[in-house]
Amino acid sequence: MLFASSSDAGDIKALIKAETELLLIIFIHGFKGTDETFAEFPKRLEHIISETVSNITVECLIFPAYETKGDLDKAVVRFADWLTTLIVEREVASGLGAGKTKIVLCGHSMGGLLAADSLREFVHTRPDKTGPLWPKIIALIAYDTPYYGLHPFVVKNSVTKVTEYANAATTIGSAVLGSFAAFGAKKATQPVPQPNATANQSPWSRWAGPAAYAVGGALLAGAAAGGAYYKKDELTQGLGWATDHLKYVGNLWDEPELEKRVEALVDIEKEHGVVFRILPPKLPEFLTTRTFIVLPKYGSRAKDSFLPANNGIAANEIEGHTGMFSAATNDGYYQLGLTSAQIIRDAIQTSRGIVGPRPSSPIKKARRRTRSPVEEKGESENLIDL
């Protein structure tokens, strides 16, 4: 019987040693986001992955702040062009060769929709439908993205809150939306102008009062979708801004299209191995029924893709949404980083052919059913609880 010497064993290890890979983790903000939306979260995630995964060079990048105007489809085209150019540049610079770069897309709020539609576009436009996916996207992580739309309770609470501010503030502007999003802006101390004193009011200020009721849920839900990105102390924009916002988030009301998108992402995970996970904040126990987004129905194929991100200090669903990426507003911030890192590690292992259980699947437990917030429906229409 022959035994390999220690030197032979070393040679064998050298032969089977995996090549160094390049991993780009791309962060995408939502409506009216900025390069500062994710704060220090990307750097922390980059450090965790670099320290826990072998043979890989990790780089976290933020898709530059973009104008969230017009159709979402146009933003998808801009992002796809930016990403493909970035990959080619990185592969040339690294000398690793084409196809050696792996991509993880991380989107917050509306950024998750942009990431999802970009992934679908890459899949559908492959020249060779039997060939591998390029760019080599291995995971899509969405942070509180409204894949099934915004929760109607957010709309209801938002309309009520903004109406209060509209009646109390002397200058409304976008501060109304910022105030409702943060639930903490101070009310103006000056008296409300009388109806005949319209000469000095902006078009948005004159329009906002009555239109808050006319536009109602649509406008305010759109504002909620971008609530993470408003600076509550800034008084800006006008009616043009509001209409741009409505156009950009208009597909949040197309239920068939929303379900079609999610079904496509589940299929892409199954067929192409692109791990798909959504991390919605789970609020304190007394607020468990309050979520910023609509959760999937109990029988949905995507229900196991929703992993709760605990936040025990958020006062409401909007604060939970806007405060995900700061330890000061989310006591689950560090766990959020660890969970994200685990999803990415599992995706890397899967892409390397190391097959195991479904990556990052939650521990199976009995899920409590909750009635649809829209209307009472049959048992199959019930929504899962985190």
Predicted local distance difference test score (pLDDT) of residue 150: 83
In this predicted structure, which of 110-119, 125-134, 146-155, 264-273 has the lowest mean pLDDT?
146-155
Predicted local distance difference test score (pLDDT) of residue 3: 47
Query: Are 309 and 282 contacting, i.e. CB atoms less than 8 angstroms apart?
Result: yes
Predicted local distance difference test score (pLDDT) of residue 129: 84
Q: Per-residue pLDDT for 321 more than 50?
A: yes
Predicted local distance difference test score (pLDDT) of residue 166: 45
Predicted local distance difference test score (pLDDT) of residue 56: 93
For 30-59, the pLDDT digits (tens) are 877 788 889 999 999 999 999 999 999 999
Q: What percent of the chain has pLDDT over 90?
A: 43
Token pair of 341, please? 């890192």
Mean pLDDT of the chain: 74
Sorted by where each starts, the structural domains of the chain and their CATH numbers stand as 19-150+253-381 (3.40.50.1820), 152-252 (no CATH)
Question: Cα(334)–Cα(336) distance, rounded to whole angstroms?
Answer: 5
Predicted local distance difference test score (pLDDT) of residue 236: 37
Q: Per-residue pLDDT for 92 more than 70?
A: yes
Higher per-residue confidence, 345 vs 15: 345
In this predicted structure, which of 278-282, 300-304, 353-357 has the lowest mean pLDDT?
353-357
CA dihedral for 353, 83, 61, 37, sign (positive or negative): negative
Sort strands 281-282 and 21-28 into parallel, antiparallel or unpaired.
Answer: unpaired
Predicted local distance difference test score (pLDDT) of residue 156: 60
Predicted local distance difference test score (pLDDT) of residue 67: 63
For 182-233, the pLDDT digits (tens) are 444 444 445 445 544 444 443 333 333 333 333 444 444 444 444 333 333 3
Tell me which residue has tokens 């291995």.
Answer: 138
Q: Per-residue pLDDT for 264 more than 80?
A: yes
Predicted local distance difference test score (pLDDT) of residue 254: 81
Predicted local distance difference test score (pLDDT) of residue 249: 63
In this predicted structure, which of 38-42, 68-72, 340-344 has the lowest mean pLDDT?
68-72
Four-point Cα dihedral 118, 123, 128, 129, nearest 10:
-160
Which H, E and C letters describe the chain, residue by residue? Answer: CCCCCHHHHHHHHHHHCCCCEEEEEEEECCCCCCCCCCCCHHHHHHHHHHHHCCCEEEEEEECCCCCCCCCHHHHHHHHHHHHHHHHHHHHHHHCCCCCCEEEEEEEECHHHHHHHHHHHHHHHCCCCCCCCCCCEEEEEEEECCCCCCECHHHHHHHHHHHHHHHHHCCCCCCHHHHHHHHCCCCCCCCCCCCCCCCCCCCHHHHHHHHHHHHHCHHHHHHHHHCHHHCCCCCCCCCHHHHHHHHHHCHHHHCHHHHHHHHHHHHHHHHHHCCEEEEECEECCHHHCCCCCECCCECCCCCHHHECCEECCCCCCHHHHHHCCCCCCCCCCHHHHHHHHHHHHHHHHHHHCCCCCCCCCCCCCCCCCCECCCCCCCCHHHCECCC
